[in-house]
Structure 1
């Protein structure tokens, strides 16, 4: 009996555990940032891309039941033996706004905070940004193709790619051609579209007339499509308009764009790429990209790769392109998991 009482007492003194599996990566990051000072949080936020800031910021704005058990679990998972809690008691909205202002400046931060805090309460076109792509597809599926085109051009390319994937194959071609040739939407048309969207799920956007669509938008959406859909759709576009297909392809993410990826990202990428594939891919790469790759390897690995490339005989262009395509497929998988963010050739990578 005495042993049972002692064991029961020990159990009561144990710190309760929190199951982190119920939290997304953005939610974990949000709780971690909320447990830091505004200055420390801001210094971290400065290193994030806008889309990452938006995801984490949205989680910061909606996180609930922030308690020591949950925070301790986050700290144990990400930073060992953290003991100090500085900003736990502050309202998440005030904390988020102050930290974002310190990181981004007042104007950018206020615009971002307003967008984040609207969240699911956003209206018109903006509310679509917070919906599941399949839900958006069902909303616009029976609308006029021009409305579908504007919506796909207005949303982020990764979301638009998922939405486009929900459409029948014959419709994808028509929409992609429309997106490629769309340049500007007049304020009256955009306002009318917002009204249409409001009737579907209530609200008003306040969005201004914008230059949306165009070849770059089409290329960015293509970047996020599954390889099978992308290849088929590009062939269909080329059959209908070879010049447009060429222009889109020129703006898409290509192997040479890897030179803009940060070294840490390249190192992660190289860990998932077989050496023989990398060797073939680099055979057709320019010297600058080769040096970029060598710099991200160990000294020994770089020397071996240089020697292998020098000793390598002629390689068919088709084999080089296939190897480069395979590496790009790995890069896109990493992008899906959040380790890389891939976009058009004119944009930066992380």
Structure 2
């Protein structure tokens, strides 16, 4: 069918995305948006691959061509107030300013302890003591352990001597946290649009990725280059440190690894084989040889699974990536 309305285009784009990415996008939408988009998806019918690729190119091109804009909390809140009740706007603004939670202290409980400790180490010990009495004990313990020793001891002594905190003092700490820490944290967590598109491109099959990037390059070379630089491809596994390869091997099913390496360069195959026992390496070679002709789409999907596993392990700190790419090794 021909995609005419914006809702139809959005529906087609959602259906073309990886399920995990589509689910993450749905989670950020309002109930009305989800209902409208779901209805369009259910009634969309068949959309040709050419139309999908053209839609993706249009979407990427639009992002790349966007002129300078300036957003702020104030302008966002003002626009929301034109269409939504004040209570709903207040709730939305609180949600986007920081981690989830009904109260400020709930929100702090969802902040990574290293991030919270890094902020609190520059605050007065009395303020830190108040904060740590308001969050859950296990979270407070992790934060306390990351504070400088002299600061931690001062905070502990103040917590031991602390009586009921006056409401005015508590309100003052809460206002400071809202104005400084939570708003800065939310700004730091906002994603660049090029990063978002790089993640989407990582989930496209090889042919679609090549075509859409080529089309984008014609319209905005800068945007295409930024996205390409941010993308994590199967060849980027050459940047995994030697100690990380055995960890990655344990996280990937053997049949998927064999399929992924079927279409890999020799350096990439060697990277995995040299980190396996002689017997395991021989079995993997036999598995690869035994696959026979395979569809490019199946290889792409297997490689995407290995890349996703590597990214998750890297985010968890279980493997590390070398910063510089070895361009000559990529086949």
Question: Do the structures match in fold with TM over 0.5?
Answer: no
Query: Shorter-chain-normalised TM-score: which range?
Result: 0.3 to 0.5
Q: TM-score, structure 1 length as denominator?
A: 0.37
Greater relative CO (CA pairs within 8 A, separation 6+): 2
